[in-house]
Structure 1
Amino acid sequence: MTTPFWHNKTLSQMSDEEWEQLCDGCGRCCLNKLLDEDTNEILYTNVACNQLDIRTGQCRHYVDRFKYEPDCIKLTRENLLTIEWLPKTCAYRYFEQHKTLPEWHPLITGDKKMMRKKGVLIKNRIVYEKDVIHWENHIISE
């Protein structure tokens, strides 16, 4: 039996395909964040990028997302440690902290059913940027 790649590789050793598979596809990265100017605290919102499909929690144009959303931030091995707003559930964050993947991760379970059960998926709980007037009304806890 072959050992899964996430058991014996660091993030820097993973191929681009493995790197992409590590993402659980929760959609939380596609939620807008606000910065409290007084405290420098990152405030999470339920306001999604207009390219996020509410039903699936996936980007509609992932491969060419920068064409549709020039401000989209691509998570890379090089910038991983500089992005402070990654969700606590992020597999890349788990790896950087030398933790194992959570039991609900699709690489372990084979699908997203457990993510849904554990409340990790954001689908159906979001609104789109284009529909928001008062952003402060959409602040949520991470």
Structure 2
Amino acid sequence: MEPFWKTKSLQQMSRPEWESLCDGCAKCCLHKLIDDDEQEDMVVTTEMADTEQLHFTSVACQYLNDKKCECSVYLERTKLVPSCVQLTQDNLDQVFYMPSSCSYRRLQEGRGLPSWHPLLNKGKKSKMHQAGMSVRGKVVFDNMIAEELYEDFIVVWPLNDLD
């Protein structure tokens, strides 16, 4: 029998199936900046135009547990952090905010789950951490860095993708 992620579209998945797709890398908890040729400085924003480019920083949300790569206030996250992108079946057009290794993005693009994904490894995140696909040990927190300095923390490692 084929696993649900091979037989259903993202829109057809149940809530538990949807939630289980998250690999737990916590790259979505990184602050992102958008570079616009028409503006002098990079800005934090919730929208992106065709002329803009998305950059990831190593600045993570203060609520991230960077050891477990989990939000410490998951159920309250969008209230405490209004800019937190809560990807759902209704807003898949915002999947571009996710890194290329994101399971939701990979499935939306028809690329399947990577070999290190917890669903393919008995629910364990160890292969993901070993492959360097999570934020573990790579971040500073936004309550320690002034927002105007985020530009100094732009990184490319969140864009790494394996198989």
Shift of 1:78: 2.0
Asked if structure 1 preserves the Cα contact closer than 8 Å seen for 2:87 and 2:94, the reply is: no
Computed over aligned residues only, the root mean square deviation of the Cα atoms, in angstroms, reads 1.4
Counterparts of 2:111 and 2:35 in 1: how far apart (Å)?
30
Shift of 1:54: 1.6
Query: Any stretches of 5+ residues in structure 2 without a counterpart?
Result: 38-50
Q: Which residue of 2 aligns with 1:139?
A: 154
Of 32-41 and 18-27, deviating more is: 32-41
Cα deviations by residue, 1:5-38 (Å, 9 ceiling, x for unpaired): 2121111111011000001010000100011121
Structure 1 residues 67 and 82, CA, compared in 2 at 3 Å: closer, same or farther? closer
Query: Any stretches of 5+ residues in structure 1 without a counterpart?
Result: none
Q: Which residue of 2 aligns with 1:130?
A: 143
Asked if structure 1 preserves the Cα contact closer than 8 Å seen for 2:96 and 2:105, the reply is: no
Q: Which residue of 2 aligns with 1:21?
A: 20
Q: 3-state DSSP class of the match of 1:19?
A: helix
The amino acid across from 2:150 in the alignment is W
Shift of 1:40: 1.5
The amino acid across from 1:135 in the alignment is Y
Number of aligned residues:
141
